[in-house]
Amino acid sequence: MAQTYKMALGDAAGGTQWELGTKFTELLAEKTGGKAKVDLFPNGQLGNEQDTVNDAAIGLLDFSVLAINNVTPFSPTVGLLTMPYVIQSPEDAKALTQGKIGQELVDNTLRDAGVRIIGWAYSGFRVLTNSKRPIESPKDLKGLVIRVPRNEIMIASYQAWGVNPTPMAWSETFTGLQQGVVDGQDNPYITVSAMKFNEVQKYVTNLRYIFSLEPLIISESVFQQQTPEMQKAILEASKEATAYSYDYLLATEDNIKKDLAAKGMVFTDPANNEKEWIEKVTTAVWPKFYASIGGKDKLDTALTVLGR
Ligand code: MLT
Output the DSSP codes for 137-176. Answer: SGGGGTT--EEE-S-HHHHHHHHHTT---EE--GGGHHHH
CA 193 to centroid of ligand 1, rounded, Å: 13
Q: Distance from CA of residue 209 to its chain's centroid?
A: 13
Ligand 1 atom closest to residue 212's alpha carbon, by position in its atom list: 5
If pLDDT is split at 50, 70 and 90, which confidence band does 54 have?
A: very high
* Bridge partner residues of 5 (DSSP): 38
| Domains located in the chain, CATH noted | 3-123+213-253 (3.40.190.170), 127-209+261-305 (3.40.190.170)
According to the model, what pLDDT value does residue 111 have? 98
CA 49 to centroid of ligand 1, rounded, Å: 8
When pLDDT is averaged across residues 23-29 and rounded to a whole number, the result is 98
**Is the CB of residue 87 less than 8 Å from the CB of residue 122?**
no
If pLDDT is split at 50, 70 and 90, which confidence band does 2 have?
A: confident
If pLDDT is split at 50, 70 and 90, which confidence band does 273 have?
A: confident
For residue 12, is pLDDT > 90? yes
Instruction: State if residue 70 touches ligand 1 by the CB under 6 angstroms criterion.
Output: yes
Instruction: State if residue 67 touches ligand 1 by the CB under 6 angstroms criterion.
Output: yes
Question: Is-above-0.85 flag for pTM?
Answer: yes
C-beta atoms surrounding 4 within 10 Å: 10
CA 148 to centroid of ligand 1, rounded, Å: 9
For residue 55, is pLDDT > 90? yes
When pLDDT is averaged across residues 206-220 and rounded to a whole number, the result is 97
pLDDT digit string, tens, across residues 144-162: 999 999 999 999 999 999 9
pLDDT digit string, tens, across residues 98-113: 999 999 999 999 999 9
For residue 69, is pLDDT > 80? yes
Instruction: State if residue 66 touches ligand 1 by the CB under 6 angstroms criterion.
Output: yes
According to the model, what pLDDT value does residue 184 have? 98
If pLDDT is split at 50, 70 and 90, which confidence band does 287 have?
A: very high
If pLDDT is split at 50, 70 and 90, which confidence band does 164 have?
A: very high
**Is the CB of residue 205 less than 8 Å from the CB of residue 132?**
no
For residue 1, is pLDDT > 90? no
**Interacting residues of 49 by C-beta distance below 8 A, sequence separation 6+:** 10, 64, 66, 67, 70, 149, 169, 170, 171
The residue whose CB lies within 8 Å of the most ligand 1 atoms, and thus the one to mutate among 49, 147, 172, 211, is 49
Ligand 1 atom closest to residue 123's alpha carbon, by position in its atom list: 9
The residue whose CB lies within 8 Å of the most ligand 1 atoms, and thus the one to mutate among 170, 190, 210, is 170
Instruction: State if residue 187 touches ligand 1 by the CB under 6 angstroms criterion.
Output: yes
Max CA pair span of the chain: 60
When pLDDT is averaged across residues 125-136 and rounded to a whole number, the result is 97
CA 4, 120, 115 angle in degrees (round to 5)?
Answer: 60
If pLDDT is split at 50, 70 and 90, which confidence band does 115 have?
A: very high
| Summary mean pLDDT of the chain | 97
**Interacting residues of 225 by C-beta distance below 8 A, sequence separation 6+:** none
* Bridge partner residues of 187 (DSSP): 127
According to the model, what pLDDT value does residue 272 have? 72
